[in-house]
Structure formats: structure tokens, C-alpha cells
Amino acid sequence: MTTQSSPSPAGIALITGGGRGLGRASAVHLAQAGWDIVITYHSRADLAESTVAELRGLGRRAAALQLDTGATATFPAFAATLSGLLMSEFGRDTFDALVNNAGNSANVPFMDTTEQQFDDLMNVHLKGVFFLTQGLAPLLADGGSIVNISSGLARFSMPGKAAYAMMKGGVEVLTRYLAKELAPRRIRVNTLAPGAIATDFSGGVVRDNPHVAALVAENTALGRVGQPDDIGGAVAAMLSAGSGWVNGQRIEASGGMML
């Protein structure tokens, strides 16, 4: 799933969960800014193919690889596959930006949360981010960048999101430590925390439930629900040269939700 040759890129970005939602929007915005893209997908190869086709249409090289970001045992094989892809399709042995975006969701009260639900969230949002980043760091070019996707729920609290928000809070702490430990290689690491966005995440509740959408809009300073392009644009901005002195930071893109 690759394109033919294209103009010299701004860099190569790897976006986990890039076939849909915020990942797809991020891929499109980065492609528009001149980046070549590798996305991962869990099971929806059709959506990944569609995203790759859209990126090709923007004149960029693109590829999609299957990855379960909650299955740490598969990460070494994935890193080897990515390494081969970078050399064979992009003529590089490194990439320039990692966007840890892939995620799952659960809306369950604290008292009803099962250990399995907790582990499912932890494996994808915290353990997976930790060990995937560790495994891919040797392939990330010196002077590169990492953006970890968190959530506004790590700042404000809503019933039913305790376990999910807890994992995102852990990612925000991890971001600061990575910024310190990868600094000798001049790799920037930041967190982007979206607010409520109209996607299919959590069953599409923000996108499809008018009552929820109205509640979000009422509690957002800019008076509307966020859209995928709002986050895609923010990711592209964080990876741009203009953000080159931003490091170890949490940046919330929520339109001013729950201020």
C-alpha cells in the first residue's frame, strides 16, 4: 500500500490508529503539510486502504501496517516490518515523527469496572504506548518528534471514565519523562489532549447523540463540539518546525471545554 515517488517530504510520520477518526484527520493534515505517512490499523484494513488512497491523492507516499497496540509481544516483529518498509518503500532507515493515537474506550462506573476492562484499557493506552515507543525509538531519527494523544478527561472528571482517564494521565507523565530521556537525541515529546470530538469513538456518542452534543457545546467556551479536523490540524502544528521549541508539554485542544 504505497505510492510512487513524490516531492521531497517534510518527513515521515507514523500514526497508530490512522485509518479512522483523529488518526485519519492527523494523517491528512500532515500530508497536506508535505509529510509522507505510515499508518497502523487494528482490524479495519478497508478503512486503512481508504486513508492511504486519500493520502496518495494529496501527492504523498503512504503505507499501512497492521498492529494491535495492546499486544506488546508483537512489537519486535512490527518494528522489523516497519524497518523493512522504510528502506524498501521510502529509501530511509528511520522515520521522523511518532503519533501515539490508537485507542479504545470504556464508559463504566468505578464500582462496576472489571479487571479485564481495566487491563484492556491499560494495555492499549499506557503499557502499549510505553513499550511501542521504546521499541520504535531506535528507528526514530535524531531530532525527531513524538506526540502522545491524551484526553481532556485527564484534567476534568466525568462519571464512567475513571479507568480511561487514569491511563491518559499516565501517558502525560510518561511524556515528560520521555522528553528528558530522549533529549540527548534532540527528540521532542509532547502531549496533545483533545476534548470531546465528533467521531465514532465511544460508540459515536458525541457525534450521534444530540443531547450529548448540546451538553458538550454548552460547556465549551467556543460553543461547539470539536471536529476531527480540529485535532488533525493541532497534530500537524505540533510536528511543524514552528513548534520546534515546544517540548515536554501538555497542550489541550478542546475549544475551552470545562474551563
Dist CA 80 CA 1 (whole Å): 17
- pLDDT tens-digit readout, 37-67: 999 999 999 999 999 999 999 999 999 999 9
Neighbour-count burial for 36-73, b at 16+ CB within 10 Å, e otherwise: bbbbbbbeeeebbeebbeebbebebbbbbbebbbbebe
DSSP string, the chain: ------SPPS-EEEETTTTSHHHHHHHHHHHHTT-EEEEEESS-HHHHHHHHHHHHHTT--EEEEE--TT-GGGHHHHHHHHHHHHHHHHS-S-EEEEEE---------GGG--HHHHHHHHIIIIIHHHHHHHHHGGGEEEEEEEEEE--GGGTS--TT-HHHHHHHHHHHHHHHHHHHHTGGGT-EEEEEEE-SBSSSGGGGHHHH-HHHHHHHHHTBTTSS-B-HHHHHHHHHHHTSGGGTT--S-EEEESSSBT-
- For residue 254, pLDDT over 90 is answered with yes
pLDDT of residue 194: 96
Distances (CA, A) of 138 to 45, 82, 178, 190: 27, 12, 14, 18
- pLDDT tens-digit readout, 141-154: 999 999 999 999 99
Dist CA 149 CA 109 (whole Å): 23
- pLDDT tens-digit readout, 156-215: 999 999 999 999 999 999 999 999 999 999 999 999 999 999 887 666 667 768 888 998
Write down the pTM of the prediction: 0.94
- pLDDT tens-digit readout, 79-99: 999 999 999 999 999 999 999
Dist CA 82 CA 73 (whole Å): 16
- Among candidate residues 35, 75, 78, 164, the one labeled active-site is 164
- pLDDT tens-digit readout, 97-147: 999 999 998 899 999 999 999 999 999 999 999 999 999 999 999 999 999
- For residue 6, pLDDT over 80 is answered with no
Dist CA 89 CA 256 (whole Å): 41
Dist CA 195 CA 220 (whole Å): 9
pLDDT of residue 3: 43
Dist CA 256 CA 25 (whole Å): 20
41 is catalytic: no
pLDDT of residue 7: 62
pLDDT of residue 202: 64
pLDDT of residue 209: 81
Dist CA 207 CA 225 (whole Å): 8
* pLDDT band for position 2 (cuts 50, 70, 90): very low
